Amino acid sequence: MSRLYRNIIQASLEALDRIFSQQEQADKVVARTLKKDKRWGARDRRFIAETIYDIVRWYRYLYEHIGRTPESTQDWWQIFAVYWTILKGETLPDWEEWQELDLTTFKHKSTILKQHRAIQVAIPDWLDQLGEQELGEHWETIISNMNKQADVILRVNTLKTNRELVLKKLQTQNIEGEKVDLYPDAIRLKKRRNLQANPYYQKGWFEIQDLASQQIAAFIDPQPNMQLIDACAGAGGKSLHLAAKMNNKGKIWAADIYPQKLKELQKRAKRAGIQIIQSQIVNSKSGIQTITIPRGEQIDCILLDVPCSGLGVLRRNPDTKWKLQKKHLEQLQATQAQLLEAYAKLCHKGTVLVYATCSILPSENQNQIQRFLETKLGKKFDCVDQKSLYPHQDGTDGFYMAKLVCEN
């Protein structure tokens, strides 16, 4: 039997309330929560993080047992009781918060709830209906796998070191990792560890980056001295990988509408020893705007990793499924189409335009590309390659990428 500590559970439940009642992002809430008490050791912090993410992941399945979404502190204690006894198979201590619980009722209800797929896999009904509509018989397998915890994947920075040396250095710290077939720069940790304070991470020897995201660089196959645009760069994980593949030669313009993300990109680039990334803030207040390229520059490739539903990364960001709404999907698809058109206009003959999402929905992926290719502008492009990745098939996040080449 695992021992429970009241202050640790209390901190976890307060964090959950902020995630659901105040719509705060789970990763940011978890990060703040872990800093609340300096007395907590690594095991305590791991328990808190896993508890919060597990309950977010299984939120609907858990609250259906108590018959309502949590509205009070006592409701959250009941949610934890369901989590601890039904999902984890553990025993509750004799605490006052659970004196009036009838665990037999929970167990009986669990059998009934498992007959309802949307409840069993813990997603909203509308999302279950949409997923089946778009993915048919594959939907159940895909969404079930989204509830499994994602592996921690490292990407070795080949500008500074190599995979064998990183594996050896980690092993001296009792951190076990393994090579990943078909991914020459990747290491999979055998146990989850937070490595952001690790000295080799601080030296820029590796980044934390999922396999799906790492495939983008291989898909683009960048060469030294190329000129690339990363149009929706965020904090720059893909820009950094592309720069390493280019041997830090050439130029990458990294754009985003969020200045704080680009600041993080510059910090990461400095740590990685990369000088070829030039960041640029794009103003989004007056509609879709593209990056500004100096006159005379010839762009070889544009990476368009567009805003999307994020349904492919539910293993990492399970709160997405509770915050996403159907109307948001429609808005996102409109933005995707506008970005495709805007950046296609920057292409000249031979420019490669790579469209990518971390979504599993055809309406954001294959269908979006097909609609673009049927437009007047889209007829200038050929789609030469497409790839879809799924956790249950590829062991990666859900991801889509398409390579378009401008023919005239």
The per-residue pLDDT for range 190-216, each reduced to its tens digit, is 998 889 899 999 999 999 999 999 999
Q: Which residues pair with 207 in a beta bridge?
A: 155
Residue 1 has pLDDT above 70, yes or no: no
| Structural contact between residues 108 and 64, judged by C-beta atoms closer than 8 angstroms | no
Amino acid letter, 112: I
Residue 310: exposure state from Cβ atoms within 10 A (0-12, 13-18, ≥19): buried
Separation between Cα atoms, residue 13 and residue 9, nearest integer Å: 6
pTM: 0.94
What's the pLDDT tens digit per position in 138-151? 999 999 999 999 99
Amino acid letter, 209: Q
Which residue of the set 232, 301, 308, 358 is catalytic?
A: 358
Separation between Cα atoms, residue 34 and residue 369, nearest integer Å: 42
Which helix (H) or strand (E) segment holds residue 305: the answer is strand 301-305
Classify residue 311 by its DSSP letter.
G
Separation between Cα atoms, residue 309 and residue 327, nearest integer Å: 11
Is residue 301 flagged as an active site residue? no
Residue 360 has pLDDT above 70, yes or no: yes
Residue 287 has pLDDT above 90, yes or no: no
φ, ψ (nearest 5 deg) of residue 228: -125, 155
| Structural contact between residues 374 and 397, judged by C-beta atoms closer than 8 angstroms | no
Average pLDDT over residues 37-47: 92
Separation between Cα atoms, residue 177 and residue 171, nearest integer Å: 8
Residue 285 has pLDDT above 80, yes or no: no
Domains of the chain: 6-122 (1.10.940.10), 153-208 (3.30.70.1170), 212-406 (3.40.50.150)
